[in-house]
Amino acid sequence: MTIHRRAMLAVFAASAATLAMPRLVRAQGTPKFIQPPLPYSDTALSPAIGQQTVQLHYGKHHAAYYANLNRLAQGKDYNDMSLIDVVKKASTIPADQAILNQAGQCYNHELYWDQFKPGGARAPAGALAAKIDSDLEGLAKTKEALIAAGNTVFGSGWAWLVQNGDGKLAITTTPGGNNPVGRGMTPLLGIDVWEHAYYLDFQNRRADHVKAVLDTLVNWDVVAARFKA
């Protein structure tokens, strides 16, 4: 091969690599996990959850979990799974706690924002109401138990109304970004007790925040849709 021909081939290879690079960067940069839009305006939850809290909580905290999950899942099997399957699988693998933290918080907050959609029932009805009466001694006791559970979370975490594998309702908590699906439960209602959820509106009064959320924001039609009669 002549020097001239070798030089031409080198130029051609470099050009091809340069042309191919933007496509490669785009493919790697396509996010798999996408934050759903907020299903109402950022003032819709006021005064229990103020506008600034929603803007920061949804727009910064929740958004960041997707950015982190997309980065951590890239090139792994997790990237081809649904969000809930990522949470279930990562819950069984201690080495994947970093993935679980981000995926769990993506999923936790999807459940959280969705359950406050305006216009639904302000109290449970039908089969769900009957189950709350039989398993948890009624709505008032259920709210008390959720408030108490929220207070027992040390640091950051969640209080939940869940349905166990045997169909029974229960109140439980999860630390950090964990979700009850990791323990075989179905989450029906999730209360975020991370300080970012309430500190601007209620400062250190976590229980008052949880009570306000339960009394004024929960759409029990959404909760009922998660429940299996």
Please report, as ranges, the residues that interact with Fe ion according to CB under 5 A: 192, 194, 197
Nearer to Fe ion, 136 or 197 (CB): 197
Selection from 172, 141, 173, 170 nearest residue 154 by Cα: 173
Give whole-number Cα distances, 121 to 42, 91, 114, 221, in Å: 21, 33, 14, 6
The first and second tokens of residue 156, run together, are: 């950051």
Least distance in angstroms from the C-beta of 58 to Fe ion: 9
Nearer to Fe ion, 124 or 157 (CB): 157
Least distance in angstroms from the C-beta of 205 to Fe ion: 17
Is the distance from CB of 100 to CB of 87 less than 8 angstroms? yes
Residue nearest to Fe ion according to CB distances in the complex: 192
Nearer to Fe ion, 198 or 227 (CB): 198
Least distance in angstroms from the C-beta of 102 to Fe ion: 12
Least distance in angstroms from the C-beta of 192 to Fe ion: 4
Nearer to Fe ion, 194 or 227 (CB): 194
Least distance in angstroms from the C-beta of 109 to Fe ion: 6
Ramachandran sector of residue 64 (left: φ over 0; alpha: ψ -120 to 50; beta: rest): alpha
Q: Name residue 186's beta-bridge partners.
A: 163
Nearer to Fe ion, 15 or 204 (CB): 204
**Phi, psi values for residue 160, rounded to 5°:** -135, 145
Give the whole-angstrom CA distance, residue 67 versus residue 115. 23
